[in-house]
Amino acid sequence: MASDQVTTAAPRNGAFLWPDAPAPEQYEVCVHCGFCLEVCPTYQEWRDENHSPRGRVFLIQAAAEGRLSLDAAVVDPVFTCLDCRACESVCPSGVPVGHLIEAARGQVYHADPPRGWRGALARLFLRGLFPHPRRLGVVRALLRLWQRFGLQCLAQRLGLLRLLPPHLRALAVALPEVTARPARLSLPERLPAAGPRKGRVALFTGCVMDVLFTPVHEATVRVAQRHGLEVVVPRDQVCCGALQVHAGDRPQAQALARRNITVFAESGVDYIAVNAAGCGAMLKEYPELFRGDPAWHARAQAFAQRVRDIAELLAEVGTEPPRGRVPQRATYHDACHLCHAQGVRVQPRQLLRSVPGLELVEMPDAERCCGSAGVYNLTHPEMAQTLLTRKLDDLPPGVEMVITGNPGCILQLRAGLAQRGQRIAVRHTVEVLDAAYQQEEEQA
Ligand code: SF4
Ligand code: SF4
């Protein structure tokens, strides 16, 4: 399902000639104070103003006003950005740096579409694979063959994995066990609430999330049902479009957004529950994709108002503390798109602190990016590895588990821990909560 239809926002002058350009009201409010510099991971590493939030906003404005052309001087800083949004959390003017970066990438996508093998790979994944649940099913089947028939172990023993670059090798080893079917198809279309019904919620299953993390979806549903939520799992939903937006392919992201908005509008739910921080941020920001299209903008706003991260949703409907124990020393890593993009920081910690036996210790700078950042760990492996090393160095002594709310972070952290030979588990917040409730039921 692909569409090249773009929104009807008027083209801007300067180097931004295509619709959906960075909005002047977003970059003009930057007062160049520099408060954002010290929280920006790329600025922290390179100490180069061009690779800071303030520098990137300045370059985008200069390109929009025709003072710079859309060449490497602008394009490189726009693409070295992790889109982690840490800068937005400290910006006194409310500059939406992430939106500006994403819109600027959209202009680059039109001006200089990805070519060669990189372009072919980008098209294969962003247009040929992620938007198509059936094709993702083929990938799932191949991954299962790889894992279940010992091919992965054999490849490791024969040293074939050493042919991969180190970061890909680490990610290949960190892949979780793939289940037979995606939650989108294996779960019933409607699951009743346990006890008095507090609301009706649709589960957003996503693309990669539902290939690699189906058990997290199952845990999400069990915990939601337990707290009085009737759950529906719309069969026709598709990928959220976040990876496409990050790559600049806004037409494809808009096509996916239209499909999801339509499908979830038909489901008649009070909430749309998301357990992947990157997807949740994207779904909440669908209106931004339709700035130039009033009809779809209004529909996107109605859709976005119902989107909740699962931790946010549970805090909203109220939870009963589990009685089962998870006796482990653990730390919580804030996924960028949960804390900076969605402002969800307190709720996961509150939920985790309610778990008997779980000793939750804070790590320094828990909100700093782990280097995953969508596909940044594939496109910029050196910076991603630097950030991963810093993150793992910051783990408090003696922790047995790292907990977070985003599949990309889970994979990245597992890959880094495997590289170091550290036996520390990495779990999703809702998995930990579910484990405590499961234990409670076993004891009853
Ligand atoms: S983006 Fe925000 S924090 Fe950074 S320089 Fe501009 S106004 Fe200041
Ligand atoms: S989104 Fe992250 S990497 Fe990009 S400018 Fe902001 S802080 Fe820096």
Q: How far apart are CA 98 and CA 83, in angstroms?
A: 6
Q: Considering only CA atoms, which residue is closest to atom 7 of ligand 1? A: 30
Q: Is 369 left (phi over 0), alpha (psi -120 to 50) or beta?
A: beta
Domain count along the chain: 4
Q: Among all chains, which residue has been given the structure tokens 């239809």?
A: 5
Residues 42 and 82 in one domain: yes
Q: What is the pLDDT of residue 169?
A: 78
Residue 149 CB partners (closer than 8 Å, separation 6+) = none
Structure tokens at 235: 């069969």
Q: Last residue of some domain: 92, 111, 130?
A: 111
Residue-level pLDDT at 13: 62
Q: Are residues 337 and 426 in the same domain?
A: yes
Least confident piece of the model among 160-174, 252-266, 322-336: 160-174
Q: Which residues contact 336 (CB under 8 A, 6 or more apart)?
A: 82, 84, 85, 86, 277, 367, 369, 373
Q: Which pLDDT band, with edges at 50, 70 and 90, does 408 fall under?
A: very high
193 DSSP 8-state letter: P
pLDDT at 121: 82
pLDDT average, residue stretch 258-285 = 97
pLDDT 10s digits, 144-175 = 888 877 766 766 666 766 767 777 777 777 88
Q: What is the pLDDT of residue 195?
A: 84
Ligand closest to 52 (CA) is 2
244 shares its domain with 294: yes
Q: Tell me, yes or no, whether 206 and 136 share the same domain.
A: no
Residue 133, both tokens: 């649940």
Does 3 reside within a domain? no
According to the model, what pLDDT value does residue 385 have?
Answer: 95
In the reported structure, the alpha carbon of residue 387 is separated from the centroid of ligand 2 by a whole-number distance in angstroms of 13
Instruction: Give the domain-ending residue among 91, 111, 131.
Output: 111
Task: Tell me which of 271, 288, 315 is where a domain ends.
Answer: 315
| Residue 345 and residue 421 in one domain | yes
C-alpha dist (Å) from residue 113 to 69, 255, 386: 16, 18, 29
Q: What does the pLDDT read at residue 120?
A: 84
CA of 27 to the centre of ligand 1 (A): 9
Within a domain: residue 97?
yes
pLDDT over 70 at 312, yes or no: yes
Ligand 2 in reach of 84 Cβ (< 6 A): yes
Query: What was the pLDDT predicted at 166?
Result: 75
pLDDT at 5 over 80: no
Q: Whose CA is nearest to atom 8 of ligand 1?
A: 33
Nearest alpha-carbon partner for 384 in 396, 366, 364, 370: 370
The phi, psi pair for 79, rounded to 5°, reads: -95, -15
Return the ligand 1 atom nearest residue 94 CA: 2
Answer whether 35 contacts ligand 1 (Cβ < 6 A): yes
User: Are 213 and 235 in the same domain?
Assistant: yes
Written as one letter, the residue type at 57 is V
Using the predicted structure, report yes or no on whether residue 427 has a pLDDT greater than 60: yes
Q: Residue 285 corresponds to which tokens in the numbers above?
A: 């920001």
Smallest CA-to-CA distance from 187 within 147, 219, 209, 148 is with 219
The answer to the question of residue 9 being in a domain is no
> Residue 336 domain-assigned?
yes
Predicted confidence (pLDDT) at residue 221 exceeds the cutoff of 50: yes
Ligand with the closest atom to the CA of 90? 1
Tell me, yes or no, whether 99 and 131 share the same domain.
no
Percent residues over pLDDT 90 in the chain:
79
pLDDT at 10 over 50: no
Count of CB atoms situated within 10 Å of the CB of 356 = 14
> Residue 256: pLDDT above 60?
yes
- Cα 101 to ligand 2 centroid, rounded to whole Å: 9
Report which protein residue has its CA nearest ligand 2's atom 5: 53
Q: Which of 392, 388, 374 is nearest to 331 (CA)?
A: 392
Q: How confident is the model at residue 119 (pLDDT cuts 50, 70, 90)?
A: confident
Q: Enter the tokens of residue 360.
A: 């939750």
User: Among candidates 188, 204, 276, 278, which has minimal Cα distance to 237?
Assistant: 204
Instruction: Supply the DSSP string of 345-370, one letter for each residue.
Output: -HHHHHHHHTSTT-EE-PPTTTTS--
Is the residue at 18 inside a domain? no
Which-ligand-closest: CA of 281?
A: 2
Triad 33, 104, 113: Cα angle to 5°:
150
97 and 125 part of one domain: no
Looking at residue 4, what is its pLDDT?
Answer: 39
Better-predicted residue by pLDDT, 374 or 38: 38
Atom of ligand 1 nearest to the CA of 90: 3
15, part of any domain: no
pLDDT tens figures, 349-396: 999 999 999 999 999 999 999 999 888 888 899 999 999 999 999 999
* Residue 321 CB coordination number (10 Å): 13
Return the minimum-mean-pLDDT range out of 31-35, 57-61, 108-112, 237-241: 108-112
- Shared domain for 245 and 209, answered yes or no, is yes
Question: For residue 114, what pLDDT is reported?
Answer: 81
pLDDT of residue 173: 77
Mean pLDDT across the chain:
92
**Is pLDDT of 1 > 50?**
no
Answer whether 28 contacts ligand 1 (Cβ < 6 A): no
Range of the domain at 70: 24-111
Give, for ligand 2, the residue of 40, 339, 376 to mutate: max count of ligand atoms closer than 8 Å to Cβ: 40
Query: Would 147 be classed as within a structural domain?
Result: yes
Region 209-238 average pLDDT: 96
Assigned domain for 6 exists: no
Distance CA 60, CA 86 (A): 18
Compare 10 and 268 and report the one with higher pLDDT.
268
- CATH number of the domain that residue 338 is part of: 3.40.50
Would you say residue 3 has pLDDT above 60? no
Mean pLDDT of 83-108: 97
Q: Are 134 and 254 in the same domain?
A: no
The whole-number average pLDDT for the span 298-322 is 97
pLDDT confidence tier of residue 6, bands split at 50, 70 and 90: very low
Q: What is the pLDDT of residues 41-73, one digit of tens each?
A: 999 999 999 999 999 999 999 999 999 999 999
- Check whether residue 164 and residue 188 sit in a common domain: no
Residues 332 and 429 in one domain: yes
Residues 6+ positions from 358 with CB-CB distance below 8 Å: 325, 326, 327, 328, 330, 352, 432, 436
